[in-house]
Amino acid sequence: MKTSIPAYLLLVVAIVAISACTKTNTTTNNYIPPTNGQPEFAVYGITDQTFVNYFTANGIMDLTVKYLDSAQERVTLSIAGLPGDVTIDTTWIHSGIPTYSTQLSIYDTASTGAAMPGTYPVTVVATTASGKTKEYTFNLTIKPLPSSVLGKYNNCYAYCDSTLHYTDSLYVDATVTNKIWFVNYAGSGHAVYGLLSGPYGSITVPAQTIGGTTYTGSGNISLPHSINISISGSCALNMF
């Protein structure tokens, strides 16, 4: 006697067969499409800068404008927030197609090498050709004349006179910021002033006639507490 297979069993077998032949797709698509075609980039190498009046008057940052994703277009850099007497090297390469590199140089252009002390937030603005902007802020700190330069110098002598050993003291003039006074210049017992200028701790003693003697000189201050001044063609003062 021939036995027939129920219809519902035939349906189950068909479903199992179809399932066995179907491959499951487990691939993950990590692609993120560009947002409105806007370029994605970042600026690297921006760091805080510190100037010391009369001693450090410039800073350098090696910048890289790096392409990240999406559309490609020109990115232009600019600077905002520099304090008075501080500027940048205008010859720097400030525009290009990422990825590109450039060097940003910042200068203290004060006539004495001493811009106003303080901490200033400065912003590097990166702008694309289509108008998208990114801002990066760093601090520019300008420090006054280090206090270690002032005060007493216990070991002072002259190269041209082995018998000349003396002490001296320095203080800042009350009204002229780059003017300092020697209380006992060259062991003379007279107060003589000098003028500071940057960026290497330069000091100039303009000609001053006191008690029939003219005092002059030029040299450098080395941090933290030493001075060398030439007072004639063959004589120099060392102060420690």
Model confidence over 174-197: pLDDT tens digits?
A: 999 899 999 999 999 999 999 999
As a whole number of angstroms, the distance between CA 16 and CA 195 comes to 98
The answer to whether the beta carbons of residues 145 and 221 sit under 8 Å apart is no
User: Which residues fall within 8 angstroms of residue 52, CB to CB, at 6 or more apart?
Assistant: 143, 146
Q: What is the pLDDT of residue 38?
A: 62
Largest CA distance in the chain: 148
The burial class, CB within 10 Å (0-12 / 13-18 / 19+), for 161 is exposed
Model confidence over 71-116: pLDDT tens digits?
A: 889 999 999 999 999 999 988 889 999 999 999 999 998 877 788 9
Model confidence over 119-172: pLDDT tens digits?
A: 999 999 999 999 999 999 999 999 999 999 999 999 999 988 889 999 999 999
The answer to whether the beta carbons of residues 203 and 221 sit under 8 Å apart is yes
Q: What is the pLDDT of residue 169?
A: 97
The answer to whether the beta carbons of residues 41 and 98 sit under 8 Å apart is yes
pLDDT at 231 over 50: yes
* Residue 134 DSSP one-character state: E
Q: What is the pLDDT of residue 4?
A: 53
Domains of the chain, start order = 40-143 (2.60.40.10), 147-239 (2.40.128)
